[in-house]
A and B are shown apart, each in its own frame.
Chain A
Amino acid sequence: MSSKKAHDIKNVEAYVRNVSSVSGLNLGEDRLKPHFPEFLRLLNDVEELNDLVTGREFLHVGPVTTYTHTKHSLDKKQG
């Protein structure tokens, strides 16, 4: 059974506002607004991907391992 769902702009607006606040990004209204339609579009694409990957035939598949990189001089700058 497909779990795919289409998101609605109001829910996405609320979600983006909350993430902005909880994450400490604290975006002002002018920065928040462009994210609403764009993230709605991306989120609906992600749901397509989720629908595919969560299919029963792929239950055995784990994520690709993320590589670790060694430290270099910029770490000092990153603090």
Chain B
Amino acid sequence: MAITGADGAQKELHELGLAESARLIAAKKISPVELTCAVLDRMERFGERLAAFVSVHGEEAMQIAGASEAMINAGYNIGPLHGVPVAIKDNIALAGRATSAGSKILQGSVADEDSEVVRRLKSAGANLLANTNMHEFAWGATSENPHYGSVRNPWDLERIASGSSGGSGAAVAARLVPAALGTDTGGSIRLPSGVNGISGIRPTIGRVSNRGIIPLAWSMDTCGPMTRSVEDCALLLQVIAGADPHDPGTADVPVADYLGELDRGVSGLRIGVVPDYFFKQVQPAVLKATKDALEVFETLGATVVEVDIEDLDANISALMTIESAEPSAFHQRWMRECPEKYGENVRFMFEQGELYLASHYLQAQRYRAILRERFLDAFAGQADLFALPTLPFTAPVIGTAEIELEPGVVRPTLEAIMRFTGIASVTGLPALSVPSGFDGQGLPIGLQLLGRPFDEGTLFRAGNAFQKATDYHLRQPDLK
């Protein structure tokens, strides 16, 4: 069934984005049942090939769609996502459903209550129809999962969908589902957004509740939206953002009207770059796309300013130390009782995390305070946001263990891939990834916009302005 989208283009139902679907349902131009059917059909056709899902709740999803349709026909609209299908990463608790974090250890572990983000999605009317595949326990950036299959990049099935929210990234990019939730510790929302050609935001630490989400590293974990456009991203964050009285990790900071401010443009905004770090150890195609994006912003009325932030290189070591030590604390008991149940890759990482000294961990936490202060100083006087690549390269082939970032500089894939995402993770600042081009092999490139604490609205403004001036976010992988 084809429908005329907001942009005037003819689209199949599965091609509709989140906001577009919600508007069409509210206007009774499409039915929640037809939309859910189309999405489930698409998931059945391509979900297994991409290894995008751990579980699909088709029967229940159709019942919910029927109820949504009956309500909308009777004049009841529950909220801004009424009747719209949304998927969640498999580490986010959905009451009555197994929530395994992509692991064997928690396989079949049924959540007895909803996570706070799921509660808010349900209250907004969303139909939560699947749990997406991920890197086991979120400790990795490739989503090569030994228990549920390696998630495939829909632009090239031999390549990674990155991670750890790889299933969410692949599913949204392949038009299997309009939107999904991911979680981000060292880059796990932004990396799969970047390599799959979608939009995704890591919100400010404390902006979104983590209650009911299986942790990786408590002091850096965040949950956020992964969508096809910045508008959809803003809509989804609007629903899940805000203080949770039952999660002391959330901050009681008012949530702005993201959608209301979306079209304010970038005129007058100062976009900071740190050339010595942002433009080094980057593949040429990614560097070109980043500089081209800066030119687009200048054309739209923003000013690009060079800013000096010292000691940025150390963010990777700090990130690795914290992201190793904290998960190893969470997994300490299981690592002694049933280590054989872990996949080899994460088992090695959890062993490694126990090797760090307490002083190493604390020095890394002190570095976070130092780096955050430097960015806050820059935000106070020099820049309104920063622009940098999401990751230094496009999606590598599955199984790639090391990456050459520049001649003679070879790093393990995990560290290389987090070269630019680590900054927001250690500072706790919000960062939005948007598609910014394609390389010579047709693989998506991501641009990251980094903002002030709790100022996700400015990132959405800038990202939306960029998407109105470009069409990278509209391109689709060809899955036949």
Chain A interface residues (CB < 8 Å from chain B): 15-16, 19-20, 23-25, 27, 31, 34-35, 38-39, 42, 45-46, 48-50, 52-54, 58, 61-70, 72-74, 77-79
Contact = CB atoms under 8 A, between A and B. Distances in A.
B248 to A, nearest CB: 6
A12 to B, nearest CB: 9
Given A49-B364, A61-B370, A69-B247, 4 more contacts: A50-B359, A61-B366, A63-B368, A72-B111
B363 interface: yes
Nearest to A58: B370
Contact of A69 (B218, B354, B359): B218
B106 interface: yes
A19 B354 contact: yes
Interface stretch (B207-215, B286-294, B466-474): B207-215
B355 A64 contact: no
Interface string B348-368: 100110111001101111111
Given A70-B211, A70-B246, A50 B218 contact: no
A49 B247 contact: no
Contact of B109 (A42, A63, A64, A77): A77
Interface string B100-120: 000000100101110100000
B110 to A, nearest CB: 8
A30 B205 CA distance: 39
B360 A50 contact: yes
Contacts of B314: 48-49, 52
A60 to B, nearest CB: 10
Given A46-B321, A72-B113, A39 B366 contact: no
B103 to A, nearest CB: 11
B123 interface: no
Contacts of B316: 45
B403 to A, nearest CB: 15
